[in-house]
Structure 1
Amino acid sequence: MSAPIDGVDLDQLTPQRRELVERLLRQRQAGATPATPTRSAEPAAPAAVPGRRPALAVSLFFFSADLDDAPADKYDLVLRCAELADELGLHAVWVPERHFDPFGAPYPAPAVLLAAIAARTRRIGLRAGSVVLPLHDPLLVAEEWGVLDAISRGRVALSLASGWHADDFVLDPDSYERRKEVLTERLEVLRTLWRGDGSLRAAPQGRTIETRTYPRPARPLETWLTSSSNPQTWRTAGALDLHVLTAMLEQTVDDIAEKVTLYQKARAEAGHVSDDRQVTCMLHTHLAERAEDVVPRVREPLGRYLSAHLNLFEKFASTQDVGVRPEEVTEADRALLLEHGLQRYLRQSGLFGSVETCLPMVDRLVAAGVTELGCLVDFGLPDEQVFECVRQLGRLQEQVRDRAEEAR
């Protein structure tokens, strides 16, 4: 018999409700942490990953849903947050690539948005999280991001993803079934072009020509591979010597620790010996000066955000054989799933509280092998509260650096 979760006995759910709970939320009771833990309540950390790791970096991540169709205001928030993060010494700003759905709607063109950020900042890293490479010709990717790398004086890095939503592939329908293989093939072409070499292409009149892209970047392309819960994607990243971008959506800290071990093993088996590979973890975040202010603030906007994500999942499920028929999920089912997801985020899958109360979660992530936090801050809070969170993330970065110095 299943143990009750947040007062709900899974054995009492309909098969559709249970399947959706287990697939969408991946609830794990082991290793759960409270929303505002104290140091005395700190859970045991997973075993540390062998080898030296750099001090943890703290970055911003943006992935808002466009529920009110006010993109200008959302872009203004992103730009102002990026300016503040640049002043505070945060590590990087991540923006995603999303298409054709309200969830992530402000972000169809990450290079364009990051170009605006580049013009208003001086030092902060500019990251795409993620470019869905099977949707694009690598010639155009190399050109577009080469321009941005030049404008920003070498601050650009990319995380690449294979894509998951079939409807996105109206941009390249033939790539969908082979999207993982297509990503690997196009990554090799992108690397070739980025270092200034040519790519053979078919040209008019039956000719084949060697094509090079410009401008030529002055440094190698820092590249991540986006992976959530699929262990094989982590192994692929290790074999290709890529950094990893992951998230807490479908896994726990303990799960991440296990996958980091797989990743490091794959790197070693492929002969990669450097110790500078990064594991970036995206997690929903709201820090405030007073920990007790956080849950009342975030409960309603985070619930709306998760509802938008559930809509996207149902759209995905309608095109896949995942054992769930969205039309059979009732409003009561949705309410249960949303409350379940909200509690999971607040308790074990995000940073919610003050700098001090979130340090135990930070320590667990570092022990699991995470080297960078991608703090998703734009899930519907008022602008001033988002700015407060960014300022507190500046404090968190300072604390992390101070503790790293003390440990040396």
Structure 2
Amino acid sequence: MQFGLFYFANDSTAVAGEGRYRILLDGVRFADQNGFSAVWTPERHFHAFGGLYPNPSVVGAALAVATENITIRAGSVVAPLHSPLRIAEEWSVVDNLSGGRAEVSFASGWHPVDFCLSQGSSYVDRKKTMMDTIDQVRTLWLGDSVDVIDGAGDPTSVQIFPPPVQSELPVWITSAGEVETFRIAGASKAGVLTHLLHQDLDELAEKIKAYRETARQEHGDWEGRVAVMLHTFLGEDREYVRQVVHEPLCAYLKSSFHLIVRSVTDVGPDFDLDSLEEEDVDFLVSRSFNTYFDERGLFGTVDEAAGMVERLRGIGVDEIACLIDFGVEGDVALNGLKPLDELRRLFQ
């Protein structure tokens, strides 16, 4: 089992200046020096929640020159919002700055407002656009040219510079939990980045099985890679950990209420969540917290977390992407990296 760090930033307005990125930079330096596998940064637009990360290639470039060993990953590039040429160019720069440590997970996008950046890409066709983009980025990464129409309306062909260090770009596909996305990733020879916000371990196990079967059918003995994002904080005592994460995790869940509440409660699909009173929302968030703390995160002591890691390893997960900046105070979150490293060492 590999362990990486995942960032999303609960509040991008909380601290001014360079301090907003301190937990990122200090955490990644620790991970780089202690054998963690990767750092993932997302693409998030127009909202304080996650808004520290509007462009993972920009952040990835900074991390590339601040580290020596750790893999620099986009988690994720929202493919329909960008030209494949720009994605390939920017990540080739990151690949060069890092000495060949760049990897990209592609996503189709989920928020319609983000598509104001899309230069005409349709929200409805976003999944097809994502797959077309992956194909073009891979072609460009290999040094091949692609046909385009220039500003004068004339056909021409272009290739990217600088040439990347790696001969092939390691590609992932981000899935919120649809089994078809797992199958597409397997057929496309891409890793899968997923999470437990909309699925439990039993459901994930079946999707990983479908992914591995498709990968073997299409690519022989290649079985792919699966990374699972988990909210993470470890400490010496379970109750201490619960007290530390309760408020920030509840705030996180409340900010994503519509996305997560149906997956961890018995609210029916036709129920209007917007009709709920504030106290009812708080009640459902509290129930969701217990589910995430006990079953869908990496919380508690090292020994307790090891049980969760064993369960994930048992269903075929290769890597845990540990989300550490979901609202826990900066120094406290960074101190939690020490027991996380102890856990990592148990599985090396």
Indicate the TM-score class for this superposition, using the shorter chain for normalisation: over 0.9
2:74, 2:2 → 1: CA distance?
A: 16
* Aligned-pair CA distance for 1:325: 4.4
Secondary structure of the residue that 1:94 maps to in structure 2? strand
Q: 2:3 maps to what in 1? A: 58
Query: Percent sequence identity over matched residues?
Result: 38
Gaps of 5+ in 2: 262-268
Q: 1:261 maps to what in 2? A: 209
Structure with bigger gyration radius? 1
Q: 2:115 maps to what in 1? A: 169
Q: 2:298 maps to what in 1? A: 351
Q: 1:41 maps to what in 2? A: none
Q: Which of these residues, 194, 198, 214, is aligned with residue 250 of structure 1?
A: 198
Give the aligned residue type for 1:176: Y
Gaps of 5+ in 1: 1-55, 315-321, 402-408
2:132, 2:146 → 1: CA distance?
A: 12
CA, structure 1 residues 326+170, in 2 after alignment: closer, same or farther (shift >3 Å)? farther
Secondary structure of the residue that 2:3 maps to in structure 1? strand
Matched, 1:123 2:69: yes
Secondary structure of the residue that 1:244 maps to in structure 2? strand
Matched, 1:227 2:175: yes
1:327, 1:395 → 2: CA distance?
A: 43
Which stretch has the larger CA shift, 390-399 or 231-240?
Answer: 390-399
2:173, 2:241 → 1: CA distance?
A: 32
Q: 2:79 maps to what in 1? A: 133
Give the aligned residue type for 2:30: L
Q: What is the CA deviation profile of residues 38-86 of structure 1, one whole-angstrom value per residue up to 9, with x for unaligned ones?
A: xxxxxxxxxxxxxxxxxx1011111122264436323111101111111
Give the aligned residue type for 2:15: A
Q: 1:45 maps to what in 2? A: none
Q: Do the aligned partners of 2:232 and 2:298 also contact (CA within 8 Å) in 1? A: yes
Which stretch has the larger CA shift, 185-194 or 61-70?
Answer: 61-70
Q: Do the aligned partners of 2:61 and 2:93 also contact (CA within 8 Å) in 1? A: no
CA, structure 1 residues 67+327, in 2 after alignment: closer, same or farther (shift >3 Å)? farther
Q: Do the aligned partners of 2:45 and 2:51 also contact (CA within 8 Å) in 1? A: yes
Give the aligned residue type for 1:266: T
* Aligned-pair CA distance for 1:361: 0.7
CA, structure 1 residues 202+144, in 2 after alignment: closer, same or farther (shift >3 Å)? same
Q: Do the aligned partners of 1:71 and 1:106 also contact (CA within 8 Å) in 2? A: no
Give the aligned residue type for 1:59: G
Q: What is the TM-score when the length of structure 1 is the normalising length? A: 0.79
Q: What is the CA deviation profile of residues 279-334 of structure 1, one whole-angstrom value per residue up to 9, with x for unaligned ones?
A: 000010101133332111111111112222227889xxxxxxx7454542321231
* Aligned-pair CA distance for 1:274: 2.0
2:184, 2:258 → 1: CA distance?
A: 30
Q: 1:106 maps to what in 2? A: 52
Q: 1:158 maps to what in 2? A: 104
Q: What is the CA deviation profile of residues 359-390 of structure 1, one whole-angstrom value per residue up to 9, with x for unaligned ones?
A: 11100000111000000011111222111211
Q: What is the TM-score when the length of structure 2 is the normalising length? A: 0.93
1:128, 1:330 → 2: CA distance?
A: 38
* Aligned-pair CA distance for 1:174: 3.4
Q: What is the CA deviation profile of residues 171-191 of structure 1, one whole-angstrom value per residue up to 9, with x for unaligned ones?
A: 125321100000111111100
Which stretch has the larger CA shift, 98-107 or 136-145?
Answer: 98-107
Give the aligned residue type for 2:124: E
2:12, 2:69 → 1: CA distance?
A: 32
Q: What is the CA deviation profile of residues 241-299 of structure 1, one whole-angstrom value per residue up to 9, with x for unaligned ones?
A: 11000101111111111001110111123234224x21000010101133332111111
Q: 2:187 maps to what in 1? A: 239
